[in-house]
């Protein structure tokens, strides 16, 4: 028992396994509800809820009509996906006794987090999806906008990584001579009990949803919980997938995400053909590209995307409070700009909804998707190799100089 307990709670899970499971679950969630695992749409609605709270009349805002702002976050399945993810992550953090208030030593991070959060929130909603609906769950829906989004996000994170490396952005760490002192260990461990209690209450609530016939809320709550558990235990970070490839030639997360999307695409095409469902397609337009690039740049500025920031916040990383606020603010600004500042007319209107299933048929769609993912995988491996070749050369040069 102790061994099982150790491998579940004391170690982080293999990201390949975690993302394959997440890919399968998101396909199943689509099969059950005809909606996908997504979060930023709900962030936009939260922004709308807050505006209404302050008495702002948003009834004429086209964007809120489009994302169906109705009821409260507690009566929306998408809302329960978000809160379920927060709860799932928090429960795992507590069960593994790893909650700790973590305040960045570099105060500039708070400003970077807020600005990055706003840029990423704005970009994601401009492109109609973040790293989920326009990426991880967008590709398996065969929505072409996610292909554009991935390329644009890659470009955005490349420049983000450049910014991260500048001296004024990263700041100087505290490097001291001699051995440092670790924090004294605490004898009493209470976090797992709190985590267990929260889990029981939450599961009871989920059962209540099903018993009272609110099936969609129950499914949202249940799948949200599962996604939260997975992203925390796998430390799934879409930001790092691109960024670390550019920064330090690290490829694990990128490869795991690509394989997860491949698994999800295969399961989704089966679900679509067996149940005769219509995939969710978003407009592919100039806005997708600009939004993706802004999103990529913003998530690196903020050190976390809309998904990653959720479990980081639950771990007690204070930095992600301004990031979360920034995400909601950015999404809300976009909702305003959509019709009031002509964003729709200039960037979106000329686009079209392109779905590979319609244009290529089922076999063509899955073949093209898997081929695209294979190319991405190849590029990832190439970049990793190229980085390490450079490192070896640089080291050799340094040794000769000495």
Partner 1 sequence: MQTDLEADFTLDLRGESCPYPVIYTLEALEGMNKGELLQVITDCPGSFRNVPEEAIAHGYTFAKDPVKNGQEYLFYIYA
Considering the complex, what minimum distance in angstroms separates the CB of residue 173 from partner 1? 4
Instruction: Choose the stretch contacting partner 1; rule: CB under 8 A; options: 168-176, 195-203, 222-230, 266-274.
Output: 168-176
Which of the 8 DSSP states describes residue 317?
B
DSSP string, 97-153: T----B--SSTHHHHHHHHHHHHHHHHHHHTT--TIIIIITTGGGTBTHHHHHHHHH
Considering the complex, what minimum distance in angstroms separates the CB of residue 72 from partner 1? 31
Rounded to an integer, what is the distance from CA 269 to the centroid of its chain? 23
Q: Hey, which residues does 355 pair with through a beta bridge?
A: 143
Which of the 8 DSSP states describes residue 74?
G
Whose CA is closest to 310, among 238, 203, 253? 238
Does residue 391 interact with partner 1 by CB under 8 A? Answer: yes
For the segment 232-251, give every residue that binds partner 1 (CB under 8 A).
Answer: 235, 237, 240, 243-244, 247-250
* Residue (228 or 304) nearer to partner 1, CB: 304
Instruction: Choose the stretch contacting partner 1; rule: CB under 8 A; options: 117-125, 150-158, 173-181, 197-205.
Output: 173-181
Considering the complex, what minimum distance in angstroms separates the CB of residue 234 from partner 1? 10
Q: Residue written as tokens 């073949």?
A: 367
Token pair in block for residue 235: 């430390």
Does residue 185 interact with partner 1 by CB under 8 A? Answer: yes
Does residue 166 interact with partner 1 by CB under 8 A? Answer: no
Does residue 395 interact with partner 1 by CB under 8 A? Answer: yes
Give the side-chain half-sphere CA count within 13 A for 137.
26
Does residue 174 interact with partner 1 by CB under 8 A? Answer: yes
For the segment 325-344, give every residue that binds partner 1 (CB under 8 A).
Answer: none
**Binding-site member from 170, 205, 333, 358 for partner 1 (CB under 8 A):** 170
**Contact yes or no for 387/251 (Cβ under 8 A):** no
CA dihedral 43, 47, 52, 58 (to 10 degrees): -100
Token pair in block for residue 168: 């004024």
Does residue 312 interact with partner 1 by CB under 8 A? Answer: yes
Burial (CB < 10 A; 0-12, 13-18, 19+), residue 369, is buried
Considering the complex, what minimum distance in angstroms separates the CB of residue 244 from partner 1? 6
Q: Residue 61: helix, strand or coil by DSSP? A: coil
Which of the 8 DSSP states describes residue 185?
P
* Residue (48 or 326) nearer to partner 1, CB: 326
* Residue (320 or 324) nearer to partner 1, CB: 320
Does residue 276 interact with partner 1 by CB under 8 A? Answer: no
**Binding-site member from 55, 60, 173, 213 for partner 1 (CB under 8 A):** 173
**Contact yes or no for 296/304 (Cβ under 8 A):** no
Whose CA is closest to 243, among 155, 318, 173? 155
Considering the complex, what minimum distance in angstroms separates the CB of residue 184 from partner 1? 8
Does residue 390 interact with partner 1 by CB under 8 A? Answer: no
* Residue (10 or 72) nearer to partner 1, CB: 10
CA dihedral 239, 247, 23, 124 (to 10 degrees): 30
Strands 352-353 vs 283-284: parallel, antiparallel or unpaired = antiparallel
* Residue (340 or 385) nearer to partner 1, CB: 385
Rounded to an integer, what is the distance from CA 315 to the centroid of its chain? 16
For the segment 89-128, give every residue that binds partner 1 (CB under 8 A).
Answer: 97-100, 102-106, 109
Does residue 306 interact with partner 1 by CB under 8 A? Answer: no
**Binding-site member from 2, 3, 57, 179 for partner 1 (CB under 8 A):** 179
Classify residue 71 as left (phi > 0), alpha (psi -120 to 50) or beta. Answer: left
**Binding-site member from 304, 322, 326, 330 for partner 1 (CB under 8 A):** 304
* Residue (251 or 287) nearer to partner 1, CB: 251
Considering the complex, what minimum distance in angstroms separates the CB of residue 263 from partner 1? 22
Does residue 60 interact with partner 1 by CB under 8 A? Answer: no
Does residue 385 interact with partner 1 by CB under 8 A? Answer: no
Residues of this chain that interact with partner 1 (CB under 8 A) are 12, 97-100, 102-106, 109, 164-165, 170, 173-180, 182-183, 185-186, 235, 237, 240, 243-244, 247-250, 252, 303-304, 312, 315, 317, 319-320, 388, 391, 395
């Amino acid at each position: 028992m102790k061994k099982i307990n150790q491998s579940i709670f004391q170690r982080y899970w293999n990201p390949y396994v975690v993302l394959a499971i997440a890919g399968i679950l998101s396909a199943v969630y689509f099969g059950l509800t005809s909606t996908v695992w997504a979060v930023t749409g709900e962030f936009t609605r939260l922004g709308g809820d807050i505006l209404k709270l302050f008495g702002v009349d948003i009834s004429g805002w086209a964007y809120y009509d489009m994302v169906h702002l109705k009821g409260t976050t507690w009566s929306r399945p998408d809302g329960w996906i978000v809160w379920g993810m927060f709860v799932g992550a928090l429960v795992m953090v507590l069960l593994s006794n790893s909650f700790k208030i973590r305040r960045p030593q570099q105060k500039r991070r708070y400003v970077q987090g807020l600005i990055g959060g706003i840029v990423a929130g704005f970009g994601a909603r401009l492109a109609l999806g973040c790293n989920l609906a326009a990426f991880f769950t967008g590709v398996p829906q065969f929505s072409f906008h996610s292909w554009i989004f991935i390329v644009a996000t890659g470009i955005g994170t490349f420049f983000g990584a450049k910014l991260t490396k500048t001296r004024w952005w990263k700041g100087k760490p505290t490097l001291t001579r001699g051995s440092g002192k670790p924090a004294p260990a605490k004898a009493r461990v209470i976090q797992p009990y709190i985590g267990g209690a929260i889990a029981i209450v939450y599961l009871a609530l989920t059962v209540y949803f099903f018993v009272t016939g609110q099936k969609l809320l129950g499914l949202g709550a249940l799948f949200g919980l599962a996604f939260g558990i997975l992203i925390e235990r796998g430390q799934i970070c879409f930001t790092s997938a691109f960024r670390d490839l550019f920064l330090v030639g690290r490829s694990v997360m990128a490869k795991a995400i690509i394989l997860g999307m491949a698994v999800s695409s295969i399961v989704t095409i089966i679900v679509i053909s067996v149940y005769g469902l219509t995939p969710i397609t978003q407009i592919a337009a100039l806005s997708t590209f600009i939004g993706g690039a802004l999103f990529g740049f913003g998530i690196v500025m903020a050190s976390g995307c809309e998904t990653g920031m959720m479990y980081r916040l639950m771990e007690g990383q204070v930095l992600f409070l301004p990031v979360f606020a920034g995400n909601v603010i950015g999404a809300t600004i976009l909702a305003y700009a959509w019709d009031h500042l002509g964003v729709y007319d200039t960037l979106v209107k000329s686009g079209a909804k392109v779905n590979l299933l319609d244009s290529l048929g089922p076999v063509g769609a899955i073949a093209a998707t898997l081929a695209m993912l294979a190319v991405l995988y190849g590029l990832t491996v190439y970049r990793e190799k190229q980085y390490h070749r450079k490192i070896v050369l640089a080291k050799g040069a340094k040794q000769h100089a000495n």
